[in-house]
Amino acid sequence: MLKKIKILNFQNLSLLKIVILISISIAGLSASAAENSSGAFCSETNEVFWRCGETSSPGDNWIAVGGGCYHLNGGPSPLCGGVPMPAPVPMPAPATSGGQFCSGTHQILWKCELAQTPGFNWVNAGDGCYHYNSGDAVACGAVDATPIAPAPAPIAPQPNPVDTVFCGGTTVSEARYLELYRDVKESGMNPFVHYKKYGASEGRCPIAGRCTQRVSKADYQFLYPKVLSSGLDEYSHYIKQGYDAGNCPITVLANNNKRCEGKPLAEIFFIAGQSNAQGMGLTVDIPKDHFTKSYFNQNGFQYKYWNMNAQTSWQKGSVSLDNYIFGFDVSLAASLQMIGKNNFYIFKASPPGAGLRNLGGANEWRYRGAGGAYDEAMIDFKKAADEICNSGLQPVVKSFFWMQGETDSGNLESANLYLKNIQRLISELREEVFSVHTPVFLGKIRSGADTPWAYPEIIRNAVDAVAAKDNAVVTIETNDISYYRSKCSLTNQTFCNAHYDAVGILDMGERFFKAYMGRP
């Protein structure tokens, strides 16, 4: 049977380039002789002693390397060119080095720096060295054993998931740490947290680089204790300092309630904006052959719905079609169910006519603490999140969908302020309800000669500018989506030209869904 062999490192050793420096005279090697085999070899500038089959135990500087064999790092020595030591003993040319050694009762052949190709029973052991397990051999104590040439230090087999891999001080990435230690990967534990809590004391490879897996607030404090003296809460610290430093992102609870931590996740899709986010499509105009009708008829509504303007508790998703008008959440929800998502939540905060500006109007989103639609939405959202938490789940915003800007485009001052205002909105929402990595989808308002607003291009350009600088933001085009035009039966043509019809609303939901599927 072929064994994959991996060179282990000890303290400051790099991967071993195997060369024999001390030959051991072994006459008539048998089972008993193999039990007392020992020797030494060089690894860069350190001399490493080895012994096999003896009663040495791990500790006291001896490291178990498998098959009853142990390594001891002797440090710099004359044999390895230590300074100020004599010159090293000449070593065999790496291009022609090779040999064999015993591991347990198996003979292992090895070659280094040769053009040997992995496969055909040869296993790549690192640094141009290859191993071949020839199986039971007379050289390793089988019946009628005959002598073999002196062997190099035994190289340990590939460690099992909980064995220690000595990296010689070399750091590894988050991904590499999980590759080396399958027990950590299988546990689902954040690798940075594992290393600090357990890995360092176990001698595992130091971990460095950017952390991408989320941690709880408690683990964030554990990893970065300076947050306690920073005067910032954990999430603010991550946003203002930790993100640039590569710190682990925090699992943000939608209502910042610690009692929800550790519970099964409840995914919330947050929709916000003004009337085109609310939806002005007429339910009677939904095409009979549209997939949403047949899908919901056959599969039901497998999600909960909360509309800030209509509900005060989570309702079955069918309530989104109970009114005579509907929004793009209908086709979004159907598409999500079709890919296997069930038991998710859609929260909508979209007061009609609400501008993002803060110009003293009665119907404005404004910003946190300014008494506008933003504050109203946060109060309502936290009630919704609390209800989820009380049901035994942990509410987490999966993505944020924004369709708004029409009101702001009607006034040059508010249009010019839109870039600043939309950036502030996203920043405040990231501090309160979702993380810096949560995908944000921004719908671009329609432009054209018949639009009832004066400066749509300023709004569209502002949205594009946000997406260009923020990797978590994606824009959605709506210029080619169907809107009411002259089909509108209302006398108010301004309303008709400003809103998408039923077909357009369904199309918008599908576009938001496709953008969502294109994100990680």
Contact residues for 257 (Cβ-Cβ < 8 A; gap 6+): 385, 386, 389
As given in the structure block, the two tokens for residue 392 are 């035994």
Torsion of CA 133, 135, 136, 137, to 10 degrees: -60
* φ/ψ of residue 453, rounded to 5: -125, 155
268, containing H or E segment: strand 265-273
Strand order in the sheet with 46-52: 38-43, 46-52, 69-76, 62-66
Q: How far apart, in whole angstroms, are the C-alpha atoms of residue 286 and residue 292?
A: 9
Going from the C-alpha of 507 to that of each of 49, 346, 451, 479, the distances in angstroms are 71, 18, 19, 12
As given in the structure block, the two tokens for residue 158 are 């590939």
Instruction: Give the pLDDT confidence score for residue 391 in this predicted structure.
Output: 92
Q: Given the structure tokens 């594009």, which residue do they identify?
A: 464
Helix, coil or strand: residue 134: strand
From the number of C-beta atoms within 10 Å of its C-beta (0-12, 13-18, 19+), residue 494 rates as exposed
Pairing assessment for the beta strands 303-307 and 281-282 based on DSSP bridges = unpaired
Instruction: Give the pLDDT confidence score for residue 310 in this predicted structure.
Output: 84
Helix, coil or strand: residue 119: strand
Overall residue count recorded for the chain in this entry: 520
Q: How far apart, in whole angstroms, are the C-alpha atoms of residue 405 and residue 410?
A: 9
Q: Considering only CA atoms, which of 67, 49, 69, 48 is closest in space to residue 57?
A: 69
Give ∠ CA 70-76-78 in degrees, rounded to 5: 110
Q: How far apart, in whole angstroms, are the C-alpha atoms of residue 366 and residue 338?
A: 36
User: Side chain identity at 31, as an amino acid letter?
Assistant: A
Q: How far apart, in whole angstroms, are the C-alpha atoms of residue 137 and residue 157?
A: 18
As given in the structure block, the two tokens for residue 128 are 């141009």
Question: pLDDT tens digits for the chain (520 residues)?
Answer: 223 323 333 333 232 232 222 222 222 222 222 334 666 666 655 676 666 654 444 445 666 666 666 677 666 655 555 443 333 333 333 333 566 766 655 677 666 544 444 444 566 665 556 666 666 555 555 444 343 444 444 443 333 333 344 565 578 888 888 888 888 888 878 899 999 888 888 888 888 887 877 787 888 889 999 988 888 878 778 767 887 788 887 766 665 566 777 788 899 999 999 999 999 888 889 998 999 988 998 999 999 999 997 888 999 999 888 778 899 999 999 999 999 888 999 999 999 889 997 666 667 898 888 888 998 999 999 999 999 999 999 899 999 999 999 999 988 989 999 999 999 999 999 888 888 889 999 999 999 888 888 999 999 999 999 999 999 999 999 999 998 865 555 555 566 788 999 999 999 999 999 999 986 4
Q: Given the structure tokens 């260009």, which residue do they identify?
A: 468
Q: What is the DSSP letter of 424?
A: H
Instruction: Give the pLDDT confidence score for residue 76 in this predicted structure.
Output: 62
Q: How far apart, in whole angstroms, are the C-alpha atoms of residue 271 and residue 433?
A: 13
For 486-495, the CB contacts below 8 A with 24+ separation are 494/452
CB burial readout 219-243, b (16+ within 10 A) else e: bbeebbeebeeeeeebbebbbeebe
Instruction: Give the pLDDT confidence score for residue 141 in this predicted structure.
Output: 55
Distance of CA 400 to the CA centre of its chain: 19
Decide: 350 and 277 in contact? Cβ < 8 Å. yes
Decide: 127 and 6 in contact? Cβ < 8 Å. no
Q: What is the DSSP letter of 385?
A: H
Decide: 90 and 99 in contact? Cβ < 8 Å. no
Q: How far apart, in whole angstroms, are the C-alpha atoms of residue 251 and residue 485?
A: 45
